Amino acid sequence: MDDDPFEGLLRMPGAIKAARGVIIPLGDDISMHVTNVYRKTETEGLTPQEMLLLACCSRAEIIRLRELGNSHDYLLRLRANAIADSPRACRVFAARKKDRPRWTLSEYYRGKNSARNQYLRCLSAKQRHELRKIPAGMALVAEANAMCVGSLLGNVIVVSELLEHFFYFMNVAFFGKSLGVPSPDRGAALLIAARTMLGSEALDFDIDSRGTLNRHAERRVRRLVDDQMAFTFGHEYAHHLLGHVEAATHSPLHMFESNAQGAGGTEYSACRYVHDIEHDADIGAITQICNGGDMMARVASAAMTLFVYLDLMHSSFELAPEIDRKISDSHPAPRDRISRLRASLGPELGLASAEIDGALEVSSQFKTWMAEQVVVQRPDLLSFYGSIYFPSQGPAMKRDRLDF
């Protein structure tokens, strides 16, 4: 094979070198973007469906997925399918795999577990021992969410990479002023966060940076993200420790069903039950921390800040009605979650009531600003598929596939 696997393809009439791979015109305004070329030894014995997984998995992992033997295999399948189903995610992973000859998908995500590991280190030895048995980590799933999934192979905890991006840009919007981030960039960060939650922002932050912060601001924002991710993992771990997943699996009244029909035709609601377990998991994520210095206070503050962000996101959903992204009935309203946390925790943990009120006031101002932008700039500002960049840095628009 040539040193450049795409060299032969570039000799085809009209072929254009892309940021990665080659774009080949097929006529009638249709082009084919070839992003990966594999050796015969890599594909030999694989089915066409399995070949799709070469974009993110090692050959050994693909063989392993032919038969799921444990919950770690189940997590690997969740991760691999999420990538293989998205051409853009495949491009992101092509960049991640570059210059990593001994690549495996599991090993890559093992290196993304710093927030999870930081959280686990702050638990009791008994809890750490139990929770380390549960496969838990991130995946490039298309919805910014986290979940503790029950399966026949055991519980698995999955946190979307998009949630981490959502936290990052929301932190830039809320805390950027004190960190010296220009006002236009803070506004762009808010829009990027909302669009990430709505599913309209392209999932390619690795290969198409929306902007960079100065070193001090980046370090501060990343620490906030780590605390928010620690709470997110802690919330899902609390579901496991409190037996919520098993209850959902075995209860006749399914935990995620609302307005169910009871005996005699009377209606009752499972939402109260669902909301109670979410509140319990919120509190458990914080109170089960038993060491780690100020970690409990940091995670409590992170949780309350996170719920302020989610409250703001409800407004973005209303501003983009064309996107079918409904608020889940299974989770309490973010303001209710803040109130329950504030009432349940001691005064030394988390944000004070005045700080919460201040954050909600800032959130209210952001809601008004975002609504005005949708009216003044373009009605589809939150729903068009693509990317938004920090105005202070670089061009307003990049050429997809050619510049990145």
pLDDT value of residue 169: 98
For residues 236 and 119, what is the distance between their CA atoms, to the nearest angstrom?
12
Cα 84 from Cα 293, distance rounded (Å) = 41
What does pTM read for this prediction?
0.90
pLDDT in tens, 373-402: 988 888 999 999 999 999 998 666 788 888
Instruction: Give residue-wise pLDDT tens across range 33-49.
Output: 988 888 888 899 999 99
Largest interatomic CA distance in the chain: 74
pLDDT in tens, 157-194: 999 999 999 999 999 999 999 999 999 999 999 999 99
pLDDT confidence of residue 249: 47
Please tell me the number of Cα atoms within 13 Å of 280 on its side-chain side: 13
Query: Is the torsion defined by CA of 76, 145, 83, 203 positive or negative?
Result: negative
Mean pLDDT of the chain: 87
pLDDT at 15 over 80: yes
In this predicted structure, the answer to whether residue 12 has a pLDDT above a threshold of 70 is yes
**How far apart, in Å, are the Cα atoms of 56 and each of 96, 117, 230?**
9, 24, 26
What H or E segment, with its residue span, contains residue 26? Answer: strand 22-27
Sign of CA dihedral 19, 24, 30, 32: negative
Handedness of CA 127, 122, 276, 197 (dihedral sign): negative
Q: Tokens at residue 105, please?
A: 């998908």
Tell me: the pLDDT tens digits for 111-139? Answer: 999 999 999 999 999 999 999 999 999 99
Kindly tell me the burial class for residue 370, based on how many C-beta atoms sit within 10 Å of its own C-beta (0-12, 13-18, 19 or more).
buried
Q: What percent of the chain has pLDDT over 90?
A: 66
- The predicted structure's pLDDT at residue 306: 96
φ, ψ (nearest 5 deg) of residue 42? -75, -30
What confidence tens digit (pLDDT) does each residue in 333-378 have? 899 999 999 999 988 899 999 999 999 999 999 999 999 998 888 8
Note the pLDDT tens digit of each residue in 73-95.
999 999 999 999 899 999 999 99
At residue 347, the pLDDT reads: 84
With a cut of 80, say whether residue 8 has pLDDT above it.
yes
7 pLDDT higher than 80: yes
Please name the residue that has the structure tokens 């990052």.
Answer: 168
Stretch among 61-65, 230-234, 241-245, 362-366 having the lowest mean pLDDT = 241-245
What is the reported pLDDT for 115? Answer: 94
Packed helices 114-121 and 295-319: angle between N→C axes, nearest 10 degrees: 140
User: Which of 278, 284, 369 shows the shortest CA–CA distance to 319?
Assistant: 369
| Spatial contact of 34 and 90, defined as CB atoms under 8 Å apart | no
- Each residue of 271-296: pLDDT tens digit? 355 778 899 999 999 999 998 779 99
The enclosing H or E element of 63 equals helix 59-64
Q: Angle, to 10 degrees, between the axis of helix 295-319 and the axis of helix 334-344?
A: 160
Q: The domain containing residue 220 runs over which residues? A: 113-404
pLDDT at 273: 55
| First vs last C-alpha separation in the chain | 25
The answer to whether position 104 is within a domain reads: no
Residue 25 in domain: no
Distance between CA atoms of 18 and 1, rounded to whole angstroms?
Answer: 20
Cα 38 to Cα 227: distance, rounded to the nearest angstrom = 40
Number of structural domains (the chain) is 1
pLDDT at 40: 87
Q: What is the pLDDT of residues 298-336, one digit of tens each?
A: 999 999 999 999 999 988 888 888 887 655 556 788 999
Sign of CA dihedral 233, 235, 236, 239: positive
Tell me how crowded residue 399 is: count the other CB atoms within 10 A of its CB: 10
Q: Does some domain include residue 302?
A: yes
Q: Can you point out the beta strands (E) in 110-226? A: 136-139, 146-149, 156-160
Whether residue 185 is contained in a domain is answered as yes
Closest CA to 216 of 185, 184, 181: 181
Residue 144 forms part of a structural domain: yes
Helix (H, G, I), strand (E, B) or coil at 120: helix
In a domain, 60, yes or no: no
Copy the structure tokens of residue 243.
Answer: 């037996």
Judge whether 81 lies within some domain: no
pLDDT of res. 330: 63
